[in-house]
């Protein structure tokens, strides 16, 4: 029966993922298990309820649509355990008709009654996934969404120190308390079992934790999770009296369970919270020339020609000339085992844009970028920040735009060569970080460039 529910839900969940995968980072699969407090949440009118330890285990699939965001679904098995106890001397009554056709009130009284309720489910989550930047050894992640729970085993087991039954015949004003052959009397050390019948559960589901990289594309992760049921899974209100009357004898009477008693529990919801441990492995998406990533080329904009003035006389005071100190384009330190000296040198070599306002890659610029692409291909774990720079000629707005266009032009060229978009991050530095002071046209040419920075960590 539930197969007809599971398959369409899984197909629909997976079908939703590719619809938002423009420039997707990759697909990721996960195996996980966890444990904590899993059970049924309800009010016990006649006693107490305690949620016991449970567990979950499953497989997950995450489809990323950016370096930070994705959609996760999967298939999960869950175990839920709740224990209910009744106050000493709690009594219940319901109406029956005996084998002679006479109506009577069936009375059940219990001492030391305890009921363990166990549920096994198949869960299908659908959650929005977030993670901090990829490529680092440690990441924070978080999930939020919903979860469909499909119960497939719903049992309860009962025991009582003493349980007694009696039949009250109102037309005779007679109560029979000790006639075991007809189902009335006392039992000590009584036990029984039965099955409940639950509806599908719909829960809010959230999780957060840390991921630790063990190899490129593979992570171990641990986190805390909580699932809170939104709907009442009890199908109907019962009218039993803890035991079902059987005229064939006292020991033939079967337990009905707490949920079969009218007004005993109210709404019943599934709840779970605990810790999870898992392993993820990613399958990088096949590289194709992205159409949505590459913006139309920015037409070169002539930068204003500086006004040439006569050379100023030598400064008489130390503060008459403002000299901007050079900022070296040095990538963040990386382990020497990961990058060779020659590779580090290539990353330090800027891509030149010698013409004012130019944002397209020349043949020489492409050749230099190809060397960086080779390094990225040789080191799948390497990510780069691509910084676009300008000289000081032009307004702040124009320089910011040109710096960004230069960085994007290099990034798009790298992506077109098959590098994952999540591994390159273009930013504009405009004219804020000159390589050399902008005191001559020769120096300004050096400052019109793109550089590669390896993020720290």
Statement: residue 320 has pLDDT above 60: no
pLDDT of 300 strictly over 60: no
User: In this structure, how many other beta carbons lie within 10 angstroms of the beta carbon of residue 79?
Assistant: 19
Mean pLDDT across 193-210:
96
**Mean pLDDT score of the chain, rounded to an integer?**
85
The pLDDT value given to residue 285: 42
Find the angle CA(332)-CA(335)-CA(336) to the nearest 5 degrees. 115
Region 113-140 average pLDDT: 91
Name 154's Cβ contacts closer than 8 Å, sequence gap at least 6. Answer: 118, 119, 120, 195, 196, 197, 198
Task: Please give the structure tokens belonging to residue 377.
Answer: 């291909």
Residue ranges of the alpha helices (H) in 381-440? 396-416
pLDDT of residue 311: 52
- Give pLDDT, residue 286: 43
How many angstroms separate the CA atoms of 270 and 227, rounded? 8
pLDDT in tens, 158-193: 999 999 999 999 988 999 999 999 889 999 999 999
The residues, any chain, with a CB within 8 Å of residue 422's CB and separated by 6 or more, are: 25, 26, 64, 66, 67, 134, 135, 383
Model confidence at 39, pLDDT cuts 50, 70, 90, reads very high
What is the reported pLDDT for 249?
87
Residues 313-323 have a mean pLDDT of 43
User: What tens digit of pLDDT does each residue of 409-455 get?
Assistant: 999 999 999 999 999 999 999 999 999 999 999 999 999 999 999 98
Q: What is the largest CA-CA distance in the chain?
A: 128
Tokens of 384: 């780069």
Both tokens assigned to 245: 């009357």
**pLDDT number for residue 351:** 95
Task: Output the pLDDT for position 401.
Answer: 94
Helix (H, G, I), strand (E, B) or coil at 430: strand
The answer on pLDDT for 14 being more than 90 is no
Scanning the structure block, which residue is given the tokens 């009696």?
A: 166
Q: Taking Cα atoms as reference points, which of 73, 77, 78, 76 lies closest to residue 11? A: 73
CATH of span 341-453: 3.30.1330.60
CA 20-26-27 angle, 5° bins: 85
The CA–CA distances, whole Å, from 61 to 27, 208, 226 equal: 7, 17, 19
Domains of the chain by residue range = 13-284, 341-453
**What would the pLDDT profile of 223-249 be if each residue is shown by its tens digit?**
999 999 999 999 888 888 888 888 888
Asked whether the beta carbons of 141 and 223 are under 8 A apart, the reply is yes
Shared fold status for 13-284 and 341-453: no
> Is 457's pLDDT higher than 80?
no
More confident residue, 131 or 330: 131
Structure tokens at 262: 């009218």
Mean pLDDT of 393-407: 92
Between 49 and 306, the more confident residue is 49
For residue 8, name the pLDDT band (cuts at 50, 70, 90).
low
Token look-up 């124009």 returns 398
Instruction: Please say whether the structural domain 13-284 has been given the CATH code 1.10.3720.10.
Output: no
């Amino acid at each position: 029966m539930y197969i007809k529910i599971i398959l369409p839900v899984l197909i629909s969940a997976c079908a939703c993922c590719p619809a938002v995968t423009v420039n997707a980072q990759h697909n990721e699969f996960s195996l996980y298990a966890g444990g904590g407090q899993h059970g049924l949440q309800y009010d016990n009118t006649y006693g107490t309820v305690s949620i016991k330890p449970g567990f979950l285990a499953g497989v997950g699939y995450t489809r990323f649509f950016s370096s930070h965001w994705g959609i996760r679904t999967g298939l999960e098995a869950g175990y839920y355990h709740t224990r209910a106890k009744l106050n000493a001397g709690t009594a219940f009554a319901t109406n029956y008709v005996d084998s002679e056709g006479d109506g009577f009130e069936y009375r059940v009284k219990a001492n030391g009654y305890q009921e363990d309720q166990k549920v096994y489910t198949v869960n299908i989550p659908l959650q929005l996934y977030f993670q901090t930047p990829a490529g680092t050894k440690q990441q924070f992640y978080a999930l939020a969404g919903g979860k469909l729970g499909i119960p497939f085993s719903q049992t309860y087991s009962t025991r009582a120190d003493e349980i007694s039954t009696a039949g009250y015949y109102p037309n005779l004003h007679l109560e029979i308390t000790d006639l075991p052959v007809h189902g009335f009397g006392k039992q000590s050390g009584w036990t029984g079992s039965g099955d409940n019948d639950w509806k599908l559960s719909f829960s809010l589901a959230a999780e957060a934790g840390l991921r630790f990289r063990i190899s490129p594309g593979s992570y171990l992760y641990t986190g805390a999770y909580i699932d809170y049921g939104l709907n009442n899974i009890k199908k109907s209100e019962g009218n039993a009296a803890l035991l079902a009357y059987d005229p064939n004898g006292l020991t033939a009477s079967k337990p009905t369970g707490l949920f079969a008693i009218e007004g005993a529990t109210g709404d019943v919801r599934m709840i779970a919270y605990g810790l999870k441990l898992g392993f993820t492995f990613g399958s990088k998406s096949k590289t194709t020339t992205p159409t949505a990533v590459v913006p139309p080329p920015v037409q070169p904009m002539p930068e204003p020609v500086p006004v040439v003035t006569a050379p100023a006389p030598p400064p008489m005071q130390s503060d008459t000339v403002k000299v901007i100190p050079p900022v070296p384009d040095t990538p963040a330190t990386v382990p020497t085992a990961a990058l060779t000296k020659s590779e580090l040198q290539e990353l330090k070599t800027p891509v030149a844009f010698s013409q004012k306002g130019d944002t397209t890659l020349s043949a020489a610029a492409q050749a230099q970028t190809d060397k960086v692409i080779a390094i990225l291909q040789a080191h799948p774990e390497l990510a780069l920040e691509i910084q676009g720079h300008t000289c000081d000629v032009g307004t702040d707005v124009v320089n910011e735009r040109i710096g960004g266009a230069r960085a994007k032009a290099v990034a798009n060229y790298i992506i077109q060569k098959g590098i994952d978009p999540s591994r390159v991050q273009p930013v504009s530095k405009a004219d804020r970080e000159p390589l050399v002071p902008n005191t001559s046209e020769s120096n300004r040419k050096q400052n019109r460039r793109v550089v590669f920075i390896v993020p720290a960590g």
